[in-house]
């Protein structure tokens, strides 16, 4: 049994069950012609129907985009045959988070790239127990992905989860590193290997459509003040999507306000991440609770 309060444990488990169920339902809707916005609204609506809340805006990242793409309120993009889709879903129950991601080829079969990320995730989970170091996990992830002839994305990592926080201070690399942190019983981690046929690094795009409240700041625009107060009250320290605040201002004023908020340091802007050589990226992710005997996968 994990060394955490029973109430917290049960909420982690419930969040995981919701995330798993929503992921299964969402993958069935990834078909040619389906709007990314419609899928995003479906995912986040199902999370709430099942008794949870989104821990972050659902990420629907295509092909060379590795992370941080979530449709805007005006998004008209649709899935196309052959798209490599990474669906990353976060659920929280009273702040206790489950994080799950899967990759799928639209209208096609699972690719070797997807198998590489899934196999790396499986092998990483198999070795988790108290005392294992995060860099040892990274070495196994790298070895597995390279064994398929691909590269791990070295500047994306798994991460510790804590209440109302997606990044609890400890990361799990996807490559071998010199130093690591030892896992402890009761720790909760999102393990997420990324595999690519490209350079093995992601770079920032100019655009950001996911944000997170940081602190109150003096602001010039009334829309900025309105959005900041709303984000602080409704999302706290968890990320929010542009479309979640789109009802607060007309489109052009919304974009002006978000720029002012990011520039002032009131919010953090998550830049869209793409593979450096614009090569396809696959992702696999589960949430684990470290136990005395190994780990419990909440999203499996």
Q: What strand order describes the sheet that includes 281-283?
A: 151-152, 194-196, 281-283
Out of 5, 81, 167, 205, pick the active-site residue. 167
Report which of 101, 296, 276, 91 is spatially closest to residue 194, judged by C-alpha positions: 101
Concerning whether 142 is annotated as a catalytic residue, the answer is: no
Q: Which two tokens stand for residue 101?
A: 């991601």
At CA 141, angle to CA 167 and CA 54, rounded to 5?
35
Concerning whether 181 is annotated as a catalytic residue, the answer is: no
Contact of 257 with 92, CB cutoff 8 Å:
no
Dist CA 125 CA 122 (whole Å):
5
Dist CA 28 CA 46 (whole Å):
14
Concerning whether 192 is annotated as a catalytic residue, the answer is: yes
Helix axes 6-27, 36-49, angle to 10 degrees: 150
Contact of 155 with 162, CB cutoff 8 Å:
no
Out of 118, 285, 286, 296, pick the active-site residue. 285
Out of 44, 75, 83, 88, pick the active-site residue. 88
Dist CA 109 CA 47 (whole Å):
27
Concerning whether 286 is annotated as a catalytic residue, the answer is: no
Out of 75, 83, 118, 159, pick the active-site residue. 159
Out of 99, 118, 223, 242, pick the active-site residue. 99
Out of 64, 83, 142, 192, pick the active-site residue. 192
Cα atoms in the 13 Å half-sphere on the side-chain side of 24: 7
Strand pairing category for 96-105 and 286-290: unpaired
Cα atoms in the 13 Å half-sphere on the side-chain side of 33: 0
Report which of 135, 127, 90, 132 is spatially closest to residue 235, judged by C-alpha positions: 90
Which residues are known to be catalytic? 88, 99, 159, 167, 192, 285
């Amino acid at each position: 049994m994990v060394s955490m309060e029973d109430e917290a444990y049960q909420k982690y488990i419930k969040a995981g069950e919701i995330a798993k169920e929503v992921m299964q339902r969402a993958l069935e809707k990834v078909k040619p012609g389906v709007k990314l916005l419609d899928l995003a609204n479906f995912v986040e609506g199902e999370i709430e129907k099942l008794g949870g809340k989104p821990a972050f805006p659902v990420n629907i990242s295509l092909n060379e985009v590795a992370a941080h793409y979530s449709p805007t309120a005006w998004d008209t993009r649709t899935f196309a045959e052959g798209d490599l889709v990474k669906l990353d879903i976060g659920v929280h129950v009273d702040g206790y988070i489950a994080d799950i991601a899967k990759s799928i080829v639209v209208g096609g079969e699972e690719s070797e790239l997807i198998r590489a990320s899934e196999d790396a995730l499986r092998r990483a989970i198999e070795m988790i127990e108290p005392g294992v170091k995060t860099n040892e996990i990274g070495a196994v992830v790298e070895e597995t992905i390279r064994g398929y002839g691909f590269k791990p994305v070295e500047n994306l990592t798994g991460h510790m989860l804590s209440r109302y926080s997606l990044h609890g201070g400890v990361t799990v690399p996807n490559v071998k590193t010199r130093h690591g942190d030892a896992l402890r019983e009761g720790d909760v981690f999102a393990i997420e290997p990324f595999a690519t046929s490209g350079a093995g690094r992601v770079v920032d795009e100019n655009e950001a459509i996911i944000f997170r409240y940081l602190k109150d700041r003096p602001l010039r625009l009334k829309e900025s003040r309105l959005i900041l107060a709303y984000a602080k009250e409704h999302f706290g320290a968890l990320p929010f999507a542009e479309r979640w605040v789109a009802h607060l201002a007309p489109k052009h004023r919304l974009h002006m306000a978000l720029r002012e908020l990011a520039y002032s340091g009131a919010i953090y802007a998550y830049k869209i991440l793409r593979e450096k050589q614009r090569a396809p990226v696959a992702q696999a992710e589960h949430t684990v609770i470290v136990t005395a005997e190994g780990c419990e996968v909440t999203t499996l």
